[in-house]
Structure 1
Amino acid sequence: MQFAQTNYKRLTLNMKKLLLLTFTLGIFFTAQAQFPGGFGGGAKKITVTGRITATILDSVTKKPIDYATVSLITVKDNKSVNGGVTDEKGKLSLLNIAPDSYKLMIGFMGYKTKTVLVTTTPSKPDNNIGTIYISGSENTLADVQVQGTKAVIENKIDRMVYNAEADGTNAGGDATDVMRKVPMLSVDVDGNVQLRGGAVRVLINGKPSGTMASSVSDALKMIPAEQIKSVEVITSPSAKYDAEGSGGIINIITKKSNAQGVSGTVNASAGTRQNNGAFNITAKTGRLSVNANLGTNLAYAQNSRVVIVNNTTVIDPVDNTVTANNVSQDGYSKWSRKGYNGSFGADYDFNAYNNISTTVKMNSFSNGGPGAANYIINGAPANNISDMDMTFDNLDWNVDYKKTSKKEGEEFSISGQLSTGKTPLHFSNILFSDLYPNGAATSSSNTGKNKEYTAQTDYTYPFTKSTILEVGVKGIFRDISSTYDNGGAQDFDYSQNVASAYGVISFDLTKKIKFKGGLRGEYTKIDFNTRDNGIETNDYLNLFPSAIISRTLKGNATLKLSYNRRVQRPSQSYLNPFRNTSDQFNIMQGNPQLNPELSDNFELGYSTFIKGSVINASVFYRRTGGVIESSISSTRDGSTNKTLTSYLNVGTAQTYGLNVFGSYNPKPKWTLMSNIGLNTYEVSNTATNVSTGTFLNYNIFARSAYGFGKGYNFELFGVVNSPRRTYQGKTDAMIFYGASFKKDILNKKGSIGINTLNPFTKDLHIQTVNNSITSTGTVFQSQNIYYPLRSFGVNFSYSFGKLKFTEKKKIKNDDIKQDQQQGGMGGVQQ
């Protein structure tokens, strides 16, 4: 109680200091935004502005042209004053347009550039041009892939985008299935994600969520694949991003959009492995837009077989006697999984310069079920009956205000976020043996609670179109508690407050060379209690520089060189000292003494577009200090040796890597793509004089998609992940494959399809071997998991209304290392 009161006072004092700083800077930035003449400039009179909207279609197929480039040029002086690109429906919306006469120039590779005259007036500032048709260029049409759908992979200067909605093999799956097919990512059997061999920060629409606070692998399983629009892989984040993620950032963008009128989507899938359902609706009238969605996921209970062999020795610290034990188990767990999520959002434009939006999102997810195992304990048989239930409940509430000015690109925003989560866990065991013929019953419960408050303000000022300054401050206040059912030693309270500020400048060195660099500072203060040492305090200041320089080459090619420093802070699942004995011979426990990882990343990348083909290649080097990995050791419990799995800062890692992605169209309706990633693994520790040596990891992804015409599409894909090394052992390779067949119906507003995953292999067999030698004893552990992956399913989707995609800037926290990593929701800031 004393700790809680002390921690509360410290938290309140830190919040007041940071909020005062945020408020002061907010007043300054607001004043700057009100006077868009820039630094030192005088006030400008705000004139009435409006918007220009249009729809761009192919003149022959009448299909939308997405990502067409549009420039708005004044007639009187022929200067470009605004511009943008069309969305997947061919829609265009240009905001903050002053009354004048303009030329709208529309261009897209393979099409003739088209110019349209348009005029806006003070009495009629908004002008909806309607539909504009553009025609193909005869001399380049042969090189253009015309499929009427967005490319599955898009290569951008700082990221690679995987358009999940254009990939029919995702139908009927969940977010984990989607992530397994994203270039540069590797996903293990539990659903944990790595980017080029490093830990990543996972966001959903650029924003964190408490739903992911306990286990991102479990949380991803509750997101239906049909809700995912695209996945962005950001390998070179600027200093504007929170510094979390040694490998980079993954941003999952869901199918959420604004539309004039009413529009929505319905998706449903049923199969032998899981069932998904999702409903999204958007309504817009004038300057007000509201949207809501509901989703559900149900996975059938299936037997997952687990075979574990433990050979342990324990050294008594008093008399140095050695006790050896051999425990083997062969059992199964029959877990089911169910979850739902829902959200409601509102967005309102007060005028052309001021916008406010809010979103409330709720999630509930649970899994668990019965299990049984046969044991051989030093030659004596025993058996165990178990049951487990884990639940994740979370609520996120975001409020965002954005102010723009007449000066194109100038923007000021204030954002706030509240996240609350609760993760109750309960398990029970009944062990039958010669010592306990009537059964020895044990049970335990643990409830984790998380509260997180965030305040953030950002300001962007364009000195010119190519010279842009971005600055901002942010505060995150976290309280984590873990309560054991019997109270006492295993209760755990943890507070973490992070204050950060950043500055980023981007400009053109020459017409072909661009530069973007910045610096982010983060101050972290931590208070926590432990069983042995009581209340402990830790604080540290880190600086995170970032820089990227890119050069445009001939033939649509780009060369870039980047550097950034990143951090991984351990989260609740890594820190919680609760002793989880759900498997009473393989105990799990967090470590509150963990330090954060710090990494320096260098990357050299090359990308080009040749006649419809995309090639992206990169080499990188990463040095990470204080690497956090799971660790096994031996412990004595009664008369039996047991293994204890926890987390340690094991040493310093050096990683060299290569990634090559390619996409090729042998025919206009046939797409081939592949991604090959290589990276080394090596961890050394000068304090213990231990080195793992150097090992090579690889992952391969291949895909073939063919459109037969009349809405018929067929796809095949396969994934190979190499054996993965850790400082104590190795996990075997993982191979899986799938196929889907889809037919467009209802004038392409709907589709039906069938899909399969690993149809010729019932179980995915993964073996993990670990060896541990410490001062307390030794452990050899062999674990075999037989995960039922084979599945067949059917799916249906339908869209109604006319969707219009718009992105809103949202607050995001991406500074915590989770159970591999975390996710969230909102609009990504760039």
Structure 2
Amino acid sequence: MRNLTIIILFCLVTFSINANVSTLNDKVTLTGKVIDNETKQALEYATIVVKTLDNKIITGAITDSKGEFEIQVSRGVYNISIEFISFKTKNFNNIKVSGATDLGVISLEVDAETLNEVEVIAEKSTVEIRLDKKIYNVGKDMTVKGGTASDVLDNVPSVSVDVEGNVSLRGNENVRILVNGKPSGLVGLSGTDALRQLPADAIEKVEVITSPSARYEAEGTAGILNIVLRKGKAQGFNGSLTATAGIPDNFGGSVNLNYRTNKANYFTSTGYNYRNAPGNSKNNTTYFDDAGEILNYRNEKRTYDRENNRFNTRFGVEYFLTDKASITGTVLYRKSDGDDVSTNFSNLFNSNKDLIETFERIETEKENDETTEYSLNFTQNFKNDGHKLILDFQYGKSVENSNAYIKDFNPERNFTDEESKDMLIKADYVLPLGKDAQFEFGFKADLNDLNTDYLVESFNEETNEFYNNTNFSNTLNFEQDIYALYTQYGKKIDKFSYLLGIRMETTDRKINLLQTNEVFNKKFTEFFPTVNLGLEFNDSESLTLGYSRRLRRPRSWFLNPFESRTSETYIRTGNINLDPTYTNSFDLGFLKRWDKFTFNSSIYYQHAINNIEMAQVDEWRDKEGNVITNPDAQNPNHIKVIIRSPINLSSQDRYGFEFTTNYNPFKWWRLNNSFNFFKSVTDGEFNNISYDSDDVSWFTRMVSRVTLPGEIDWQTTGFYMGPSEGAQSKREGMLSVNLAFSKDIFKEKGTISLNVSDLFNTRKRKSTSYSPTTESIGEFQWRERQILLNFTYRFNQKKKRERPQNNYDGGGEEEMFKA
């Protein structure tokens, strides 16, 4: 790793030495800003052309994300034109440039006659690279058509999604997921399942924020993923319709509509999906006595049949109170009904591998999820550009009800009723101080209340009735209120930018176990400083350095001490005494652009205390779950149970290196690649067992998009996750490949696409786990290979966006750090 660091630093220094900085004394600066005359929003990618008086082009530029431009020209007299697709061109003739010249704010008007006729030839790349984050544009990825938010995230650079749907950023699962810059009911009570319910068509882009400023909440030691939902901005009525069919059974449709007038903008996104997602797993476990001798073997095979009906709808109205103030109201409703059948076949062998007994355990589960969320946003822009006040209010309620029947040697029933109520109040005030400085402060109150009622009923053969098994049943009330204040100050000095901030968060956590009348309360206040520095050597080369202190609060399912019941030998349970994890993170980034190639890299380091890891213990139990002190290994009614639960280990150091590249060798071929190498060193001990580990892993993703004859687009995505090893487990490497083909029809109003997810059916987690008296070799595949056919029809809408937008409901970035 030391040699790798030296090589990377050498490359950075070499690039810096070669930076092209113009120092010609006869050049002067021509500046200005381009905005939409109607919305007053900055126009990014507007073109500025500088010509001689006989209209020969001398030079030009495009505007940045703030609509601003800066051009070096020789002293003289010029004709200057400002152009933007679907807008009327504005011309400045006979402009004398004898020194630094500012053209001021230039307003462009929409060209209504050409708005519906324009065809955009140049596409924005699938991945936009900014100094402090990467932005993934969902509309350009064919492999997620007809998919879900989980599929979208699994294609984002720096992000990986394992076979169970757990999302990781740079190999770290503690990533905060926001929607439109705020926590949302779209993530739900169970984030993994909720992401599989949100359709990919509802998502416009995903922002990967690895060095968040003080504006963002401190939750998420790995960083933040911000999912930005679609909200049309074009005038008039427009929209799109989508239909999907696939194998295994996958049928659905969605509609995205937008209607905009001079005073209001109405938008909605609604979708329905039926899906059958078969999966499978197996575990072969060897049991040892205290002397290390083999006691017996147990082999388990499990199949999953999952049927789910999902409905999502979101409706909103943005009303323009004045030309500088607007209020936006949004209503979200999500409903899901699932029928899952898990069949577990177990064979028990003695130490000589003679079959002793065969078991069959079938769990039939029905689950109903329902979420309703209301949000209100008020934005007031003041006279000076960038001076604004943003107020947000959000209230959501989620309900999950499930019941399961387990057919086994001893039948069992369990029922889960969960209800979550969340309220968010948030305010952000931004005050520009001159042209190149900015002050900001804000507050946030995030109030959460969760009730979980878990009932397990065992069967009494003597009475032929089910009874409440108090060994497993429990009721939990979880309240967590978070109050935050933050302030930050940023300034740009020539090519150097800095943003300094501090955030204070107070957490008030109350847990009440009603079954035992136990109460566990914790309240703590912490400060989280942030530092972001940027140095732009020129328009194509820059360096960033970020520092942030962050935390990981245990989620309710990590705290709830109930036990999972799908398997009687592998059990997961929570830990009521978990404390937060605190992390100090450092990130050094380097960006370089060439004509057809872009390279973005980062070196990062994180030091965590109170790190949360899964610990594994085992104990002997009978069929009803009672602990046995003197077990008989040859007795089929005596079962050795492996229990996994989260604990706070002492510390962990994570460091790594990543890069992303974008290369367009030809007009018909585009390549994107991302690579992430990371290492984690854990130092801790639990129950006199060392959890020290030194784990090295990596993953890479390659995306190739080719335009074939007949204007057929072909996209291939390959992903490989390298092997890893922890204190009590190790995991093999995993390869998966996705294919997609797309063709425009009906004069580009329609698009038909075919995609194959996990082409070789290799997306399986293969792992080995250890304890002092067990060794388990397992394999898990959540979803088998899937084939989807997708059709999209657009009306009053072009395939490619004519008017790129930079604003959305909440969650902005610091503009001075945009590249």
Would you call these one fold, judging by a TM-score over 0.5?
yes
Aligned residue type for 1:201: R
Cα distance, 1:193–1:788 mapped onto 2, change above 3 Å:
closer
Instruction: Write the deviation string for residues 107-135 of structure 1: whole angstroms up to 9, x where unpaired.
Output: 799xxx97469xxxxxxx9983527999x
- For residue 69 of structure 1, report the CA deviation from its aligned partner: 6.0
Matched, 1:246 2:221: yes
Separation in structure 1 between the aligned mates of residue 339 and residue 92 of structure 2, nearest angstrom? 61
Matched, 1:128 2:109: yes
Cα distance, 1:86–1:238 mapped onto 2, change above 3 Å:
closer
SS at match of 2:299: strand
Instruction: Write the deviation string for residues 673-730 of structure 1: whole angstroms up to 9, x where unpaired.
Output: 2111100022111676835332211001112112246642111120001124344212
Instruction: Write the deviation string for residues 221-274 of structure 1: whole angstroms up to 9, x where unpaired.
Output: 222323322221111110000011111111122322233211111112211133
Separation in structure 2 between the aligned mates of residue 703 and residue 764 of structure 1, nearest angstrom? 17
SS at match of 2:411: strand
The more displaced of 182-191 and 368-377 is 368-377
SS at match of 1:491: strand
Residue pair 1:257, 1:806 contacting (<8 A) in 2 also:
no
Instruction: Write the deviation string for residues 792-828 of structure 1: whole angstroms up to 9, x where unpaired.
Output: 222111222247665656467xxxxxxxxxxxxxx78
What's the counterpart of residue 290 of structure 1? 266
Q: Percent identity?
A: 24
- For residue 553 of structure 1, report the CA deviation from its aligned partner: 1.2
Instruction: Select which of 366, 382, 394 maps to 1:417.
Output: 394
What's the counterpart of residue 363 of structure 1? 334
Cα distance, 1:548–1:107 mapped onto 2, change above 3 Å:
farther
Separation in structure 2 between the aligned mates of residue 693 and residue 581 of structure 1, nearest angstrom? 30
Larger RCO (CA within 8 A; separation ≥ 6): 1
So what's the TM-score if we normalise by structure 2? Answer: 0.79
What's the counterpart of residue 306 of structure 2? 335
What's the counterpart of residue 755 of structure 1? 755
Separation in structure 2 between the aligned mates of residue 279 and residue 828 of structure 1, nearest angstrom? 29
- For residue 581 of structure 1, report the CA deviation from its aligned partner: 1.3
Instruction: Write the deviation string for residues 758-788 of structure 1: whole angstroms up to 9, x where unpaired.
Output: 33x2453321222234xxxx44332222455
What's the counterpart of residue 485 of structure 1? 455
Matched, 1:214 2:213: no
Separation in structure 1 between the aligned mates of residue 560 and residue 814 of structure 2, nearest angstrom? 32
SS at match of 1:226: helix
- For residue 671 of structure 1, report the CA deviation from its aligned partner: 0.9
How do 1:780-819 residues align onto structure 2 when only pairs under 5 Å count? 780-802=775-797, 806=805, 810=809
Aligned residue type for 2:715: E
Aligned residue type for 1:192: N
Residue pair 1:66, 1:150 contacting (<8 A) in 2 also:
no
- For residue 476 of structure 1, report the CA deviation from its aligned partner: 1.3
SS at match of 1:223: coil
What's the counterpart of residue 406 of structure 1? 383
The more displaced of 692-701 and 470-479 is 692-701
Instruction: Select which of 570, 587, 592 maps to 1:603.
Output: 587
How do 1:312-323 residues align onto structure 2 when only pairs under 5 Å count? 312=287
What's the counterpart of residue 195 of structure 1? 169
Cα distance, 1:651–1:133 mapped onto 2, change above 3 Å:
farther
Separation in structure 2 between the aligned mates of residue 182 and residue 328 of structure 1, nearest angstrom? 37
Gaps of 5+ in 1: 1-49, 57-64, 72-82, 93-102, 118-124, 135-145, 433-439, 813-826
How do 1:333-732 residues align onto structure 2 when only pairs under 5 Å count? 333-377=304-348, 379-432=356-409, 440-485=410-455, 490-508=474-492, 510-530=493-513, 534-554=518-538, 556-638=540-622, 639-685=638-684, 690-708=690-708, 711-732=711-732
- For residue 474 of structure 1, report the CA deviation from its aligned partner: 1.1
Separation in structure 1 between the aligned mates of residue 476 and residue 795 of structure 2, nearest angstrom? 50
Cα distance, 1:278–1:829 mapped onto 2, change above 3 Å:
farther
What's the counterpart of residue 160 of structure 2? 186
Aligned residue type for 2:590: Y
Separation in structure 2 between the aligned mates of residue 693 and residue 744 of structure 1, nearest angstrom? 52
Aligned residue type for 2:678: N
What's the counterpart of residue 25 of structure 1? none
Cα distance, 1:735–1:370 mapped onto 2, change above 3 Å:
same
SS at match of 1:157: coil
Separation in structure 1 between the aligned mates of residue 580 and residue 143 of structure 2, nearest angstrom? 38
The more displaced of 719-728 and 663-672 is 719-728
Separation in structure 2 between the aligned mates of residue 552 and residue 673 of structure 1, nearest angstrom? 24
So what's the TM-score if we normalise by structure 1? Answer: 0.78
SS at match of 1:219: helix
Instruction: Select which of 150, 153, 158 maps to 2:127.
Output: 153
Residue pair 2:559, 2:576 contacting (<8 A) in 1 also:
yes
Aligned residue type for 1:209: S
Instruction: Write the deviation string for residues 83-115 of structure 1: whole angstroms up to 9, x where unpaired.
Output: 97699xxx99xxxxxxxxxx9963799xxx974
Separation in structure 1 between the aligned mates of residue 691 and residue 84 of structure 2, nearest angstrom? 54
Separation in structure 2 between the aligned mates of residue 461 and residue 608 of structure 1, nearest angstrom? 31
Separation in structure 1 between the aligned mates of residue 365 and residue 139 of structure 2, nearest angstrom? 35
Aligned residue type for 1:562: G
Cα distance, 1:651–1:108 mapped onto 2, change above 3 Å:
farther
Residue pair 1:375, 1:381 contacting (<8 A) in 2 also:
yes
Instruction: Write the deviation string for residues 559-590 of structure 1: whole angstroms up to 9, x where unpaired.
Output: 11110111111212222222221322222222
Separation in structure 2 between the aligned mates of residue 54 and residue 569 of structure 1, nearest angstrom? 40
Aligned residue type for 1:723: P
Cα distance, 1:259–1:667 mapped onto 2, change above 3 Å:
closer
Residue pair 1:555, 1:608 contacting (<8 A) in 2 also:
no
Separation in structure 1 between the aligned mates of residue 245 and residue 309 of structure 2, nearest angstrom? 14
Cα distance, 1:709–1:208 mapped onto 2, change above 3 Å:
farther
Instruction: Select which of 45, 49, 61 maps to 1:67.
Output: 45
Cα distance, 1:314–1:467 mapped onto 2, change above 3 Å:
farther
SS at match of 1:764: coil
- For residue 312 of structure 1, report the CA deviation from its aligned partner: 5.0
Separation in structure 1 between the aligned mates of residue 539 and residue 699 of structure 2, nearest angstrom? 29
Separation in structure 2 between the aligned mates of residue 499 and residue 532 of structure 1, nearest angstrom? 30
Aligned residue type for 2:127: I
SS at match of 2:109: strand
- For residue 219 of structure 1, report the CA deviation from its aligned partner: 1.6
Separation in structure 2 between the aligned mates of residue 627 and residue 425 of structure 1, nearest angstrom? 32
Instruction: Write the deviation string for residues 163-220 of structure 1: whole angstroms up to 9, x where unpaired.
Output: 1211222223322222222111122111211111222111222222234243322222
- For residue 757 of structure 1, report the CA deviation from its aligned partner: 2.5
Separation in structure 2 between the aligned mates of residue 651 and residue 310 of structure 1, nearest angstrom? 29
What's the counterpart of residue 272 of structure 1? 247
- For residue 410 of structure 1, report the CA deviation from its aligned partner: 0.9
Instruction: Select which of 234, 237, 243 maps to 1:262.
Output: 237
What is the count of residue pairs matched by the alignment? Answer: 696
Aligned residue type for 1:159: K
Residue pair 1:632, 1:779 contacting (<8 A) in 2 also:
no
What's the counterpart of residue 42 of structure 1? none
The Cα RMSD (Å) is 3.4
Residue pair 1:69, 1:86 contacting (<8 A) in 2 also:
no
The more displaced of 494-503 and 418-427 is 418-427
Residue pair 2:180, 2:808 contacting (<8 A) in 1 also:
no
SS at match of 1:485: strand
How do 1:90-129 residues align onto structure 2 when only pairs under 5 Å count? 106=82, 115=91, 128-129=109-110
